[in-house]
Structure 1
Amino acid sequence: MDMQNLTYALLGGLAIALMFTIYSDIRHRKIYNFVTLAIVLAAPVYWYASGQLGWQFAGMQIATAIVTFGIFSIFFALNWMKGGDVKLFSALALWFSLTKFITLVLVASVLGLFVTIFFAVSHKMRKRKGPALIPYGIAISLAGIWAVSEPFFNHFG
């Protein structure tokens, strides 16, 4: 398998992992650690296959993931996010350039608004007690799938 095919296979694997995350977050309200770990462990292989495995590039990706984890850990401490969401954002930070990742976070935020509205209205219509549990992993995963697929559909940017 040549490197370009390996790159595409890894991006496809990332998309599949994110689709599984959508399913598990809807069905069980859980983002499994083994999925997040697989995303993290596949990132350096992706760097190598895409020809970006260098100290400067790897350092930037790891620094972005650490900063992401730190910032979103504050949201976790404030009970605005769950731990799986924090870990998933941090794992995705390893896959995309800083500008692409910031865009991913913004897209996830907008999608998160729609996910929140949908699940809050659904919770209210079913007359369930207590606060609605919002599976924010859906928005994060959809934003990740968008980030993976965007270069294939946008040949102008």
Structure 2
Amino acid sequence: MGWNILTFLLPAALGVLLVSAGIQDIRMREISNAKNAAIALMAPLWWVSIGLAPWPGMAIQLGVALIVFALFIGAFALGQMGGGDVKLIGALSLWLTPLKLLDMLTAMAIAGGVLTLLFLIDRRWHRREGPVEVPYGVAIAVAGLLALREPLLNQFTQ
């Protein structure tokens, strides 16, 4: 991977957008379409900056992201996730190789489980009724930030 300014700035911008999405999800229980669109639209620039070939590299990235997005639409249809969460996962999937994506999804599941447990404890502690609304964008953002550590930090190891 040849170093250029975009190979640092694009993942850094993605990190800022992920943090912003997590904060927005905590505050409002939604993630804006603008953030999700920005994440998705920056991915092709990332592909070019790292020298990913259109075939099969970019095609694989797009195909895997579409599969992941379709799977999580199922979770949305079952009422298990919000639409902003699904769009964020789909957009983030464009950035990660298939193996890195599996790592991210695993970290997301663990972070989501911990977050859900904390919200259940809080609900019981405060004796609240009704369903627990978990801001799953936080888990997605944390997992995405963990996945980003490699392209950001590897810039400085040579």
Q: TM-score, normalised by structure 1?
A: 0.91
1:11 CA drift (Å): 0.4
Structure 2 unaligned regions, length at least 5: none
Tell me the residue number matched to 2:23. 23
Partner Cα separation in structure 1 for residue 150 and residue 130 of structure 2: 38
Q: Does 1:103 align with 2:106?
A: no
1:57 CA drift (Å): 1.1
Give % identity. 36
- Answer yes or no: is the 8 Å Cα contact 1:120–1:134 preserved in 2: no
Tell me the residue number matched to 1:118. 118
Secondary structure class of the residue paired with 1:128: coil
How many residues are matched? 154
- Answer yes or no: is the 8 Å Cα contact 2:31–2:137 preserved in 1: yes
1:151 CA drift (Å): 5.0
Q: TM-score, normalised by structure 2?
A: 0.91
Give deviations 1:99-128, integer Å, cap 9, x for gaps. Answer: 100110011001111110111211222222
Structure 1 unaligned regions, length at least 5: none
Tell me the residue number matched to 2:41. 41
Q: CA RMSD in A?
A: 1.8
Partner Cα separation in structure 1 for residue 127 and residue 50 of structure 2: 50
Relative contact order (alpha carbons < 8 A, sep ≥ 6): 1 or 2 greater? 2
